[in-house]
Structure 1
Amino acid sequence: MRVKRSQLIVIRRAPGNPRQARVQLAHGVVTAAVGRGGILGLKREGDGGTPRGRFPLRMALYRADRMQRLRTVLPLRAIRDGDGWCDDPRDANYNRLITLPCARSAEGLKRKDHVYDLIAVLGYNDGPRVKGRGSAIFMHLARAGYSPTEGCIALSQRDLTRLLAQMRPGTRVVVLG
């Protein structure tokens, strides 16, 4: 029996700009923003770096009040009031989707800006979770001008929507330095 190779989405640092990247999609190469700390081989909580490595995509979250349900093979869920992501290494729910409010530090997912209108959760530091190694590493929507993120990978809405639609089971994101 022949085994199909997983589809890879390759992200490479843009020449001359450590805070931007190039992403190969089926329709061509597109621009993305990466962390203000660049792409790092050793990621730590709060360093602003995008982790280097090969990661599965776990799920997609979207703002149903701002966009239509999209096509993807990923588990898909609308972001709810009170959804958050724990970024406190001392919490038992570190690097997990949680319900706000919580006693520790967490990032709200239902934001006023549009950055989290669409999120693809990367399988980074989640099996097993290592406290302090970094949390909330997503692919999400880019700000104007592709300004740096806090460690995530940010694409235009058009490009992230296309990426999620072209995925197949087993797709991996490969982040190169």
Structure 2
Amino acid sequence: MKPTSNKLRSNNSVDHVIIRAKPGDPTRCLIRFGHTTIQGCLGRNGRTIFKREGDGKTPIANMRVLYGYLKPSIKNSTRHQIIMSQTNQSLGWCDEPTHPSYNRSVKRPFSHSYEKMLRDDILYDFIIVLDWNITCRKRYCGSAIFFHVAKQGYPPTQGCIAVSKRDMKKIIPFITKKTRFKVL
């Protein structure tokens, strides 16, 4: 089996984005893509191999990139290689473990628990949907694990991986459907 590489490929893409907890702070991380390392933040309760809905932990996993979302104001200003749709007022993400649409995008209004995807802050200016619990959608095993923009000062997330908006703009052009996010 051929070893994988974290180098930028000739087509300007990256095979792996490696996420490691920052020593001394389980909610902060160092993210390596290609030859670049940047800082980011993780879930408010660190990382886990036993992800549960609402636990505030980032799953330790090797996750594929599925697709993404952009705020309408950003759509035309950022180069990207994956399918990126615009967020809008009717877009939500179901986080109700007993609902058939659990861990899927839904149309608002929605009568069950969901997360609003078009936000007034910067968190969801860019969203990369990672394949955590998407295919099997096991109840209570976690939903909405995204790679998105961090708030100023890198406060912890609800379980996602987040970076500054400036760093997101650096990374997003190199992400493809073949890119894997490895949380160690």
TM-score, normalised to structure 1, is 0.93
What per-residue deviation string (whole Å, max 9, x for no partner) do you get for residues 51-109 of structure 1?
Answer: 00100011110101256442222111111221010000011100001111111100001
For 2:161 and 2:177, the matched residues in 1 are separated by 21
Which of 112, 117, 126 does residue 125 from structure 2 map onto? 117
For 2:171 and 2:107, the matched residues in 1 are separated by 28
- What's the counterpart of residue 61 of structure 1? 69
155-164 vs 34-43, which moves further: 155-164
Q: Aligned pair 1:28/2:47, yes or no?
A: no
What per-residue deviation string (whole Å, max 9, x for no partner) do you get for residues 102-148 of structure 1?
Answer: 11100001111111111111110011110100000001110111000
Aligned ranges 1:7-156 → 2 under 5 Å? 7-26=15-34, 28-66=36-74, 68-156=76-164
Q: Which runs of 5+ in 2 are unaligned?
A: 6-14
57-66 vs 92-101, which moves further: 57-66
Q: Is the 8 A contact 1:26 1:166 kept in 2?
A: no
- C-alpha change, 1:132 and 1:169, in structure 2 (3 Å) is closer
Amino acid at match of 1:130: K
Q: Which runs of 5+ in 1 are unaligned?
A: none
Amino acid at match of 1:158: R
Q: Is the 8 A contact 2:65 2:176 kept in 1?
A: no
Secondary structure of residue in 2 paired with 1:160: helix
CA RMSD across the alignment: 1.8
Q: Is the 8 A contact 1:57 1:172 kept in 2?
A: yes
Percent identity of paired positions between Structure 1 and Structure 2? 35
TM-score, normalised to structure 2, is 0.89
For 1:146 and 1:77, the matched residues in 2 are separated by 26
